[in-house]
Structure 1
Amino acid sequence: MNKPTLAAHESLEIHEALNFKTLCLAKSKLIQGIVFDPDLKALMQKDVEQSAQAIAELQAVYKNAPFQAPVPQNRPTPIVN
């Protein structure tokens, strides 16, 4: 049975969504280091977790793209824990 693939425009849209969610995740993680309100920090942590889950789901769909940009195996070291 043939593996279903995405059309070129669908692949590009998924790629754009992946880029957007990756930037959102990075911003939330960086901003957490300068936020002192515990409620806001908890909300941002929830956003980080949901963004990571969304990225994983988008990557699973992106595997069906007829072409892909390589995903690097090494990740940048976080500036703030």
Structure 2
Amino acid sequence: MNDQSLAPHESMELHEMLNFKTLCLAKSKLMQGLVFDQELKALMQKDVEQSTQAIAGLQAVYAKAPFQAPVPPNRPTPILN
């Protein structure tokens, strides 16, 4: 991708992707506290790590948007460790 800014419709779509990915991250993190199977818990932890990386990448692209809305922190408070 070049250094040009994003078009308004691209910015809105990117914002929607950020919202969706943040919601998925929160759901995976929340569900980890309800799961007792260790393999499933490990898979969910992997999803949390990959989602965190994806959100960081999307935020870097979002910085090129001509208008921005604040992005909430992507670290939900853990319920159980």
Taking structure 2 as the reference length, the TM-score comes to: 0.86
> Percent same amino acid among aligned pairs?
78
Equivalent residue, structure 2, for 1:6: 6
Query: How far 1:72 moved relative to its partner?
Result: 4.9
Q: For this pair of structures, how many residues does the alignment match?
A: 78
Unaligned segments of structure 2, at least 5 residues: none
SS at match of 1:67: coil
Structure 1 stretches of 4+ moved >6 Å: none
Q: What is the correspondence of 1:1-81 to structure 2 with a 5 Å cutoff?
A: 3-72=3-72, 77-81=77-81
Amino acid paired to 2:27: K
Is the 2:29–2:76 contact (alpha carbons within 8 Å) kept by the matching residues of 1? no
Query: How far 1:76 moved relative to its partner?
Result: 5.8
Over 3 Å counting, the alpha-carbon distance change for 1:55 and 1:33 in structure 2 is same
Give the RMSD, CA atoms, in angstroms: 1.7
Query: How far 1:55 moved relative to its partner?
Result: 0.3
Amino acid paired to 1:27: K
